[in-house]
Amino acid sequence: MRGTITAAATAVLLLVSAAAGAQTPPPPYGPGIDLETARKAVAAAEAEAKKNNWQMAIALVDSGGQLVTFSRMDNTQLKSTDIAMGKATTANNLKRPTKAIQETIAQGGANLRLLAVPGVMPIEGGVPIVIGGKIVGAIGVSGAAANQDAQCATAGAEAVGGK
């Protein structure tokens, strides 16, 4: 089972890298983001959502893909909780924004195989957090249109020095 998952993850990385042109390799993983920094990122994402009157669920995972902190604003649709978590883990585990996965799948053909990989959430709104040239985690946001989710996730990542 572990071998199958590893093979599937490797295939995803190869497909996404090929589709993205693979100009520069993604940064390596670093130590997981600490709670204080994670809370700053979530607060910035939440502030962006409030500024635009969007109700969002915001998940932040460490470089190991484990939840560090989470926020669900009042009146956020319930399924956004799972979606935000999925976007965060996908961005972390594939070392790229979920928009890249979404665009790869949109090309069709062999790229559609990505949909069969367990745990991949191919919807814009998940962004890796890179600090000091290393991925320390990722933030995922859900509750509005995918590009609006990404706007809030990017605000969160940028607030702590990452993108």
pLDDT at 10: 44
Q: Which residue has the higher pLDDT, 135 or 163?
A: 135
12 residue type, one letter: V
Q: How many CB atoms lie within 10 A of CB 127?
A: 31
Check residue 24 and give its pLDDT: 87
Q: For the whole model, what pTM was predicted? A: 0.86
> Which pLDDT score is estimated for 22?
52
Contact 21, 130 (CB under 8 A): no
**Count of H-run helices and E-run strands, the chain:** 5, 4
Domain ranges in the chain?
2-159
| CA proximity to 71, closest of 83, 86, 87, 60 | 60
Which pLDDT does position 161 carry in this prediction? Answer: 85
- In this structure, what token pair is assigned to residue 127? 């962004």
Q: What is the CATH number of domain 2-159?
A: 3.30.450.150
The whole-number average pLDDT for the span 67-74 is 98
- Rounded CA-CA distance 134/31 in Å is 8
- pLDDT tens digits for range 3-59: 444 444 444 544 545 444 557 899 999 999 999 999 999 999 999 999 999 999 999
In tens, the pLDDT along 84-143 reads 999 999 999 999 999 999 999 999 999 999 999 999 999 999 999 999 999 999 999 999
